[in-house]
Every structure is written in structure tokens, then in C-alpha cells.
Structure 1
């Protein structure tokens, strides 16, 4: 609905819901000096227009529009404006001296779990289902038991620090890093919707360990041949094949562990990862080297009724293996904190760059987003060149396993 089509005031909920954003922010009178502000991104909130003691007109934020626990409908916004005016009169101060970001009473007790649920729904639009489920599960396990029922405006930075420090002491660095980032973003949502001015998560990262380096850990050049041999000799053959595929394909670990046989065309030597499982939210075609096809053909001999390449142990749940399976295998092989599944991508990228391969082909193989004209997407971009690159890498891996000589300089 366009603002020019408004027929009456106060604005009805139907009208408010239907109002469309424009190229710039605008306000529409609701009633009694209360205006609805519509931002360029479609977000809507309430503001009170009033005159300061010096005679100049100004605005005071009343709260976001909506029907949620933290939001105000049209009548509630008018009541909030009356309450603010009465408070200023009772205190004998100008309305301008009240905190313009003061939250309505019902917002003061809003629990962190409610804010978290709202944030998750917003993120759900951009995330894959798998990413959403993992984030929700992580927050429910590690955050909500202690913070879920607490009014988020009253939780101190020191309390958040102690919670995250507990994860650090347990060695859950990747969980710590993601949980902290998520919670910081959740508070940011409260800030941009005028529910709080304070984000207690800011600056905590300066005093906590990070999983970034550990998550992308990789062996030194001299250790690559032994790593290849160790993976090939791993006692569980399906997992041994999975580890080798991670090195040859250079895909994200979650993409491989969640892969299904229906995504592969072994005759054509292609694997199509659907957009629902790609971080970039787009289909992606992976060309397969000859060695990769042979490994997949061998893995297919272990196939049961499941369509998963790597089915989990609990057949009732029909789920793939845990996201920690490949990590644990590397740990058992003696590579804890030295080589991670994700670090396999680094080995491939560095080797290809050191060999002088075209950076555009390398970026395309890794599904990296590229800015500008080169970044215009085609799910089969550089397919033939990437097939040649994949075959080159598979041949290099074979040579390294046999010769034990690595001439790769890793950053």
C-alpha cells in the first residue's frame, strides 16, 4: 500500500501492515502527535512529535511497531506517549529530558529467549536449513539454560564473560566463537529496534580465545605425505575414503558429510550440490577427478538403504554422520590441532596458487564469492578448467603419497 492511499486516521493495523517502504524514510501521522516511521528496509516504529522548551519541534522514539512482546500496536503507542508526558509532568521536567530511548514497561522484562527466537526467524531467511538447525541447537544447549529466562537488558557483561569462559575452559573453542558471535548479533537486533542502547557482548572477544586458527589448522609441507598415507590407512574404510575425498574435493566438510548419492553422476564425473546446502545459497557443480570417481565407486559398495554417502549409526533417525566424525578420525591419527577437515581446503588452495594456477579457477573451485564482473555467477563456471585443476591436484596427491616429497610452501 502506498502512503498516498491512506484514507483515515488513526491508522488501522491493516493499513500499517500494508504500508510499503520507499527509497527514503518517511513518517505518517497516527494520532495525538504519534507518528509511524517507515524505514527504507521496511522496519516500522513509533515516534512522538513534540515541542521543546525553546520552541523547536523534535522527535522521541516510543518503540517498534508490531504485536510481539517487545512491540507496540497503534493504541499502545498512543498510551505510551501519554505515559511519557505524564511522567515528565510529575517529575517537573521537560519532555525532552526524558530518555528518548526509554523502553515501554513490558519491554523491560522481555527474556533473552524471546529476543533470540526473533533473531533466529530473521536469520532463517538467509541461512540454509542445516545452518539454522545447528545455530538453534547450539544456543539452546549452551545459552538458554542460563540466560534464556533472564531479561536481556539486565544481564551484565561479566555474566556473559563467565558463561563464555566456561566454554573456553572445556575446550569448546569453535562453539565459544560462534555462540559469542550469535549473542552479539542478537543484542544488535535489540539495539537497532530501540529496545536497548547497550550490547554487553561487545569487547568480550578481546579476553577470550578464538577458534579461528584451530578451525583452519593444517599440517606443514613436510607432513603432507605422511598425512595422506595415514588417511589411506585409517581402519574404518568408509571414513578413510571420506578423509581422502575431503582432500581431493576441497569442499566444506559439512557439504561432504551431508552429501547424498542422488547428487552424483559418476559416469559424467560430476557432483551437483543443491543451493539448500551451499553457504552461498546457490547450486554448485563439482567436477570429479578420476581418483575421486574410483573412491566413490568403492564407497558405494558400503551403501545400505540410505541415500547418504556417510549414513549415521542411528538408522531410525535417517541422518548423516556427526559433524565431528572426520575431526575425531584426524584426532585419533595424531593430528589434533594440527589438521582439521576444513584445513584440507587450505592445502589445495595453497598448492594450486604456488603452482601458478589461475586464481579465478581456484576461487571458482572453492566456491568463493568474487566481486565485480568476474563474480557473475554460473553454477558450472569454468567447469572444464576446474576439471583439469581437480585432476592435477589428485595426481599431485598420488605423487606426494609415494615420493614423500612436498614442494608446497604453505602460508
Structure 2
């Protein structure tokens, strides 16, 4: 028996203003929500049957509300914390106090104390660079409107920005002087960790003028010895392999000078690191010691192998077979090894603008490859970036760089290697 569906009472018609308010406060359900909100009774040609509702579906209206309007709880949204501005004068005072406390001791300060003082300089350097940006951005925001632009025609905002920039620049100079006072003090030992932090600090400050001198002090600074009150300073040999600066520190210092656009400092960094005898000796010990040891041990290994192989044959005398096998093994290993070494030494795919002059020995090319690569990096940075304009640079500074590279046994922009020349 067919049973008619119960009709719902008609809703009271609302005014347009009430409808707008209801739309703002309550999210409109989607088609999926409307489909799920229908009556569980469905009318068909066969009669009324009960339909099982969908399982595992969340309430669409709540999901839409969360995605549209965000979480309802206001406390869930973290509020930004107010960070008070840092004055440049206060940064300098803190760093100077740390320097005075470190150098007030009569004895030799420990490496941890020196690193702690330089880290304060490093932290102050990072904070000092944030001061001008905040003040300048605040001035820019205040002068965005047309009225404020007309009222600031007298240049008051510009004067404020310039005065702020001057104060920050003076603070940066004083921070750089404090760091230099710490590392150049006679009682302070310059270790690789201390040198690394100092280079990083000066790179952040943008004051790279002292980097060549400090890199030279790392190898030649007298070492203090003794007890407080009776200190003795032992002279150091700057040509020892142990006095070579780590290549990572050298690259960091070179990048800092290039970023600061200081050509003299960049050349000074190269001269006091890659061009020193200490660096060449350290490179030979690290890279050539194992191949040289293998080359010395190769004849003995070949003789032992040949003597064991001579027992496996009966056509020749054992001594004759051992001699022939030894000669063959040494010939094969020596020829293939020399070809590999020659290809590695004469590789020039990494060269861009600075190449070796004709007549430079292969041994010297290998030992001074880092120096050539550093000069190549400097030339590519301070010169034109377009390859078709290489060699067109003018000015006394770049001409001095060209002559300096030529005195080093290298050539800048060799004609036969330039683009379009063959």
C-alpha cells in the first residue's frame, strides 16, 4: 500500500538583511552536505524504501567552516612577540666589556675564552646589520601616503635615515676594531677555530681590510710561553707545513673580500695563504705522500709477485723468469700510472680567464693550482661577466691586476683561449 510522504512545514520568509546576516554567520553547505541531509526515505516506482546513510563522512558544513574561516578558538593562533629595538651603542659597550675582561688577565687566555669573546662580536655583528633596515623601513612606511610625502619635503626623514646609517656604520667600525684588538693581542694564540670565527665576524661586518694581516699573523705571530708575570715569546717559522691556513677558511675570507669589492684585500688574502711555502708543503704532504709511497713500494711488490709466478712455469730459469716478470710489471704499472698523473696535472678545463704562461713546469703548475684558481675567481668577479667582453676592462686597478698575474707566471685573457679565437 502506497503511503504518501509527510510534507515539511514551509519556513518563514526572512527579510533580505536577515538572509545576508545568516549567510555571513553560517557557512553554506556544499552539495555533498545537502545530499547527506536528505530524508532517509526515498520514493521510487516500487514504493518507499529506507536508505542507509553514508558511513565515514564528516560533517561537511563543519569542514567548510574550518577551511574558510580558520579555527574558532582565537587562542590557538600564536601572537607575535614584541622584540625591543637594539641600540648600536649598547652592542659596542657589551663587546668592549668582553674584550677588556679577556685582556685584563696577566697570563695567557685560554682558547675557550677567546672564542667566547669573538662569538660575542659575531653576534653583535649580526644584530648590527638589522638596525638600519628596521629604521629605514619604518621611515618608508611612514612616508607612503601622499600627505606625509608633501609634509616631508624638507628632508627630515632623509636626515634621520642618514644619521641612523652613520651611527650604525660607526658601530660596525668599532666592532671590527674590537675583534682585531682581541686577535692581535700578543698573549692571544691564533688557532684555526679562532681564525675561523674572526673571518666570519669580519665578513658579516663587511670590514675585510684586516684579513690579510691576520692571516699573516696566523703563521708568523710569536707564541707566548711561561707563567703570568714572566712571559716569553718564541719566534715561529712561517714556512712550516703546520702553519698553512685551512682551505675552507681561505675560501671564506676570499669570498668576504669579493663581496666587499675590495681588490687589494683579495690579493692580500691570496698572497698570505695559497702563495706561501707553508701551504705548498702542506699540500705535498697531504696529497703527494701516499702516491709517492706507493711508487716507492711498487718495485718491491712487483719483485715478490714475479718471484711467486716464476714457480708456476718450467720453460725458463726461475731467476730469468723473475727478472722478466718484474720488468714487465714495472713497465705496465709505470706507463699507465704516469699517463694518469700527466692527465690529472695538465687538466685545464677548470680555467676560465687565468691560464699558465708557456714554460711553467708541470710540477709548479700542480703545486700552485689553488693560487691560479683564486686569481681566476678574482678576475672573473672584478671584470666583465660576458665572455665576449673579456680583455676589454680598463682602469688602473684592473691593469695592476693584469700585471700582477703576469709576474706570477700566468696570463690573463690569453688570446688563443678566448671566445672566437683559435
Q: TM-score range, shorter-chain basis?
A: under 0.3
Q: Which has the larger radius of gyration?
A: 2
How high is the TM-score relative to the length of structure 2? 0.23
